[in-house]
Amino acid sequence: MAWRILAEPISPSQGNHTVHPLRYPTETLATGPSLGNSVCFARTTPTADLDHLWMSWSGRWYFGGTTISITADGLPLRPLWTEHRAESVCCLYEDAGLQIRMSVRLPYRHAPAVALRLIVRCAAQAASEVRVEIRGTFGARPSPWHRRQPSPEDVARSFAPVDITPNCLTVRADCGDLLRVSARTGELAWLAPDSWRWTGTLHMAGKQREERALLLEVLHGDDTRSDQLRISRASRLRLSGMDETIARAVQWAVINSERVAHRFRAGYGFTNDPPGTLLVTRDMAWFVFGADWYMPAFCRRMLDAVVQQGLYPSGKVAEYLDMRCQPAAREDYGLNIADPTPLFLLAVRHHAACTGDTAWLSRTYPSVRLAAAYLQSQTVDGLVMCRSTEDTPGRGQCGWRNVLQGLRISGSVTELQALSASALRAAAEMAAACRDVDFARGCTRAADLAAEALESRLFSPQ
């Protein structure tokens, strides 16, 4: 059956947009899922323990880990199931009429501040006394659960208590950030040098429900204000005529992409290896091709960041931007040309076509023209030529295979040639839309030559 994706606003009652949780036996999981929004990224373990909260604005790591222990009438409970939800991960404990859910919750669409909640929900059919203890650290720790590790600077960071009460702990990091753990019930304790403990008791009288919650916050420091961090997502996906399994996969893909849509010091972007501050321009383009349909406002801001900071004076587009810096630091891996330049042109064209915003295209067009002219300048007899004299990881390969070591991918690369032919056609379309007629004709001729060279000199019938 044919399927369509329509970028249009939908109400909660429309479409098949409801995201059902993914449920797994806890003991079968090697690690927990990650949660994220525009200001931070949180990692978890299979048992819904927190494994760091990372700040996109500063690149700092906090709250190195929590450990949770739950007892019912003095007997320890073991987690049975772990559920992955859009804004949380939940671990389920069950025992003789007693059900306890331990959740880590981080909203991913609208993030007014850096605030993560640890929530304990208990439902009992009979009288029971449930005791919960959660221990955590304000600082970072080496992680046994995830590949990416906090920096040595973050692990060595020191903290000093600012305000200590039974329901609220506030500490100041040596970099100036304020961190706070608070709870309305239970008791919080400061454990020097950088740890905390919360204990709470739920007296279940039978056939009742109780809830306890902790709030973990990074209050200020280098982070921008909340009104600067909101990303408007005016449209949502409506999926029609699609297999239910595929529709579910699309929904989770949307959620995961929104989790890594960050606001960095140098602007908006996403990282292909979260958490991190590197915006890889080729991946930015591929991201835009998909995300234009459901988060065009974020794609606009990310493209604007690349337009403003990702182009060299020649028109070449950088391989990646380090968004921790203001302005972003650029790297080109010593290549004269690679796929970021044509992919940038294709991403701008895609966004302009999806949004229909000709005013934005007009503002962006000078960068489009510069990049397209540079791409043509790196062409010899219709073939785009990449030059490199290095073979270290990243610096010797033209294209996405830049993790390879000991070899060099350069010269006339089929992948780059195909992208360039398409990008030059896109540039011609944008030039015509902006009434740059002569340049549009030149791009069309260059695109025809590139396509002809691809077919005649790089295509093998074998």
- Top pLDDT among 300 and 410 is at 300
What is the pLDDT, as a whole number, of residue 29? 96
* Most confidently modeled range among 116-125, 220-229, 403-412: 116-125
Three-state DSSP class for 174?
Answer: coil
What is the pLDDT, as a whole number, of residue 223? 46
Q: Is the model's pLDDT at 357 over the cut of 60?
A: yes
Three-state DSSP class for 199?
Answer: strand
| Cα–Cα separations (whole angstroms), residue 131 to 38, 75, 190, 424 | 35, 10, 19, 65
Are the C-beta atoms of residues 42 and 36 closer than 8 Å to each other? Answer: yes
Q: How far is CA 44 from the centre of its chain?
A: 15
* Cβ count near 147 (within 10 Å): 7
pLDDT band, very low/low/confident/very high, at 71 (cuts 50, 70, 90) = very high
Stretch 421-431: mean pLDDT: 98
What is the pLDDT, as a whole number, of residue 221? 52
What is the pLDDT of the chain when averaged over all its residues? 87
Using a pLDDT cut of 70, give the percent of the chain over it: 90
Stretch 334-353: mean pLDDT: 96
Q: What CATH number labels 260-458?
A: 1.50.10.10
- Top pLDDT among 459 and 1 is at 459
Q: What is the pLDDT of residues 152-182, one digit of tens each?
A: 999 999 999 999 999 999 999 999 999 999 9
Strand-strand pairing, 88-95 and 127-137: unpaired
Stretch 131-159: mean pLDDT: 95
What is the pLDDT, as a whole number, of residue 113? 63
Any idea which of 43-52, 136-145, 218-227, 410-419 has the lowest mean pLDDT? 218-227
So where are the chain's domains?
Answer: 20-224, 260-458
Whether the domain at 20-224 and the domain at 260-458 fall into the same CATH topology: no
Sheet holding 75-76, edge to edge: 75-76, 66-72, 127-137, 195-205, 187-191
Buried b (16+ CB within 10 A) or exposed e, 55-68: bbbbbbbbbbbbeb
What is the pLDDT, as a whole number, of residue 149? 95
Stretch 201-219: mean pLDDT: 85
Q: Is the model's pLDDT at 19 over the cut of 90?
A: no
Question: May I ask the CATH architecture of the domain 20-224?
Answer: Distorted Sandwich (2.70)
Q: Is the model's pLDDT at 2 over the cut of 50?
A: no
Any idea which of 137-141, 252-256, 290-294, 400-404 has the lowest mean pLDDT? 400-404
| Cα–Cα separations (whole angstroms), residue 98 to 49, 92, 214 | 21, 11, 21
**Predicted structure pTM score:** 0.89
Stretch 211-240: mean pLDDT: 59
